[in-house]
Amino acid sequence: MDSSSVHERLNAVFRHLLQQPCEANPVLHKVLLTSRHLQKQEAAEPVIIGGMVLDIHATPSIPANPRTTTPGKVNYVLGGVARNVAECMSKLGAKPYMISALGLDMAGIRRQKDINTAVVSNILDVNGELAAAVASVESIEKFLTPDWIRQFIRHISSAPVLMVDANLSPPALAASFAAECNIPVWFEPVSVTKSRRITSVVKYISVVSPNEDELVAMANALSGENMFRPIDRNKHLAESLFQTLKPAILVLLEKGIRLVVLTLGSDGVLLCSKELLSSMRIGPGKTKTYGFIRDLYETVTSRCHSSRYSGATEPAGGSQFFAVHFPALPASVVRLTGAGDCLVGGTLASISAGLDVMQSVAVGIAAAKAAVEAETNVPSQFNLTAIADDAKTVYAAANVLFYQSML
């Protein structure tokens, strides 16, 4: 047998091994863990799996009336939760690896002529708030298949963090974790309806980023009961909102999710965990970074000192439940459609650079502010000084709402 044949046989064996579950193959498990450790030292790429969408934004220039046309503007905008997150991360200096599906028909990653690119038509009000939307994203579920995702097993298994959005079908979500060996996984719920897809993969999830309606839907789905009801956020301040939603948050934490990043729009973000938030990290910690993201890491660590929130310490021999409220930043709002995705993108980019969870969420909120002031879902660029200054403001204003020893 010549050397080329030997090489082909070895590759075939390795490809076969890569298709086996890590837990069922201790040798593979060790090889992948060693490989991942080495690759992470060289700043392995975060992996983002989910939708790439053409957004159509219809914004009236006067309050719209039903059953008639209204003057305004219609814009075509690059969108999709996962795509927006990946673009935000890229513009903050991270290098995410995107897995998705896209058609050749319009907005033109899996591209082929029989795919109709996913489209979402958003109807906005005069304040840039989403009034209604119609999503035609069947192509994501049809073509972003388990077989397609498994082709990227080596990228997934070496990633410092994996983000999936709930545009994926349940089988595709499961395939995303086929190579999962202790990789932190961020689940972005996308919508109330799709958020319930977490039930089949919750054991893999480290972080979730729902709004209050998605939180209620996930808690009901995971508990198997319809015990939680949607709430009117306008009737609650942040602390009373937290007390109302705390039972639903605990359902997710009891299922093993490490961190709930609850987005509250203009009321900011609630960060909830059973772990000590002031020292919590997701992923491998600091990696080799360059350019914008390295400068962001250095600037934020110098301005947002973790010692500020070191007053609450972990009780010996017991567990605890922590909650911290981060306020939103005042902004000149143009449109709000990209705010949540840039919050996630900014947080993930910061986590990948080695910032702790609280520092990373502060950067995420700063990125969200930049997003609401832009015409597109993701700003054309981020200003390092502005992001760092805004992150410092948010971090300094964070408020510990709840700390309880659960002995």
pLDDT digits (tens, 9 = 90+) for 31-41: 333 334 444 44
For the segment 80-117, what is each residue's pLDDT rounded down to a tens digit? 899 999 999 999 999 999 998 766 544 446 666 666 77
| pTM tops 0.85 | no
Give Cβ neighbours of residue 10 (< 8 Å, ≥ 6 apart).
none
Place of tokens 């007053």: 311
Residue 109's pLDDT is what? 60
DSSP 320: E
Bridge partner residues of 136 (DSSP): 119
Contact present, 166 and 189 (Cβ < 8 Å): yes
Ranges of beta strands (E only) in 327-406 are 399-405
Contact present, 139 and 104 (Cβ < 8 Å): no
Q: Residue 250 above 70 pLDDT?
A: yes
Span 345-368, mean pLDDT?
A: 95
Residue 55's pLDDT is what? 85
Span 227-232, mean pLDDT?
A: 86
pLDDT band at 19 (very low <50, low <70, confident <90, very high): very low
pLDDT band at 21 (very low <50, low <70, confident <90, very high): very low
Between β-strands 47-49 and 130-136, what pairing exists: parallel, antiparallel or unpaired? unpaired
Span 378-383, mean pLDDT?
A: 94
Distance CA 286, CA 352 (A): 7
Q: Residue 64 above 60 pLDDT?
A: yes
Distance CA 64, CA 178 (A): 47
Choose between 180 and 326: higher pLDDT.
326
Contact present, 80 and 144 (Cβ < 8 Å): no
